[in-house]
Amino acid sequence: MVDSQWSHHRAASIKRPPIVRRGKRKAELPPSNARRVLVLGSEDCKGRFRAVNSNIDELIRWAYDLEEYQISEPDQLKSSSLTFDIEATAGSDVTALQVRLMVRRLLRERFDVELHHEFRKMAAYHLMSGKRGLKLQRSSAQAPRMISFARGHIRTSGTSMTRLAAGLSRELHRPVVDTTGLPGIYVVDLQYAAPDAVETDSAPSLFTALRDVGLLLKPVEAQIQIVKVDRANLNPTPN
């Protein structure tokens, strides 16, 4: 079902953003609004996908659920001057995962994206249990809930150690691998100094805040799976 949803190219519209002319040389620039990739599928928008002013790097990372350190690609794919607006429609019963899979197909068919997975050694952290045991409260949730990483504040009514490690990866911009071996769902409510702020007694560093609840981040070198983009066409096939 997934492969057939967007098989007709007219179901997905790809356009360059409106041009804004600035200065005497009338340089053609995309709008200054922040780029973003939005899934408008499954629960909230009846099987629609929308990307606004997004470059190919952002589209690939969204489709494959990648952090910046998990992708190797030509610099031109990250260009802020080569962006696209995309509108695509699928069936109303598709799941969020199916929407991602369909965007992968769109990238292959319309942008000729070719990629492969490989492992690279890079600086990382192991999330470990402290010697004095875990001090987080068990959650009554039967499944992991959303975890929020606001500025200097981690909060969730229920998360697994694996999901916490994934969130820490995004916060630290470095792979974090769960090695705690701890099963179950936990409540997390930690406040800490933002990465660009000075640590104080009332606002400890993220490392200190985790240590206080029985978790450690150990710097290591690890083999991390990444996506390497071999090819991409900067001029997508016409609608």
List the domain boundaries for the chain.
2-111, 121-224
Give the three-class secondary structure for 216: strand
Tokens 């952002």 locate to: 58
pTM beyond cutoff 0.75: no
For 184, counting Cβ atoms within 10 Å of its Cβ (0-12 exposed, 13-18 middle, 19+ buried), the class is: exposed
pLDDT over threshold 60, residue 57 = yes
Nearest to residue 208, comparing CAs of 152, 163, 155, 160?
Answer: 152
Residue 4 binned pLDDT confidence (cut-offs 50, 70, 90)? very low
Summarize pLDDT for 16-41 with one digit per residue, the tens. Answer: 887 655 554 443 444 444 455 554 43
Compute the CA torsion angle 84, 85, 91, 92 (nearest 10 deg). 140
